[in-house]
Amino acid sequence: MPFKKMLTELIDSVPGASGAIIADWEGESVAHVARMDDYELRVIGAYKGIILGNLRQVMAHLEDDHLQEVVIATRSGRALILPVTRDYFLVLVIDLGTVLGRALYAARCCVSELKKEIV
C-alpha cells in the first residue's frame, strides 16, 4: 500500500488529526498528508526528527534503545512521534481535544503496516 494512502487512512481515522508525515533519519519527508499548512507539517517533521534523535542518544546512554513513542504537547496541539525503523519515523499532528488513546492506537497500527512496507 502506498505511503500516502496509509497516512490518509491514519488521519481519516483520528478525529482532530491535522497531518501525518513519514520522515527519514535526517528529518526529510518521505511522504506526508496535510490538513494544515503543508510547509509547516514538513518543518514539524524535521524538528521532531531532531528531538527523536536526541532522545535516542539519551536512551543509548541508559543502555536502552527501545524508544517506542513520544508525545509532545504544546499550547496549540500535540505531536506523536513513533519510530518505524532505525531510519524512519512517523509524526501525527493532532488537536489538543483529540482523544490521545485513540490517536496512539491508530498511529501504532499505521507503524505496524509501515514496517511491512519498509522492510
- 0.75 exceeded by pTM: yes
Q: 98 pLDDT exceeds 70?
A: yes
Closest by alpha carbon to 33, among 13, 51, 18? 18
Structural domains of the chain, ranges and CATH numbers in brackets: 3-118 (3.30.450.30)
- Distance of alpha carbon 117 from alpha carbon 115, whole angstroms: 5
Strand partners, 79: 72, 93
- Cell 483520528 locates to 14
103 pLDDT tier (thresholds 50, 70, 90): very high
CA atoms within 13 A on the CB side of 104: 8
pLDDT, residue 61, reads 79
| Strand ordering across the sheet containing 78-83 | 29-34, 17-24, 88-94, 78-83, 70-73
83 pLDDT tier (thresholds 50, 70, 90): very high
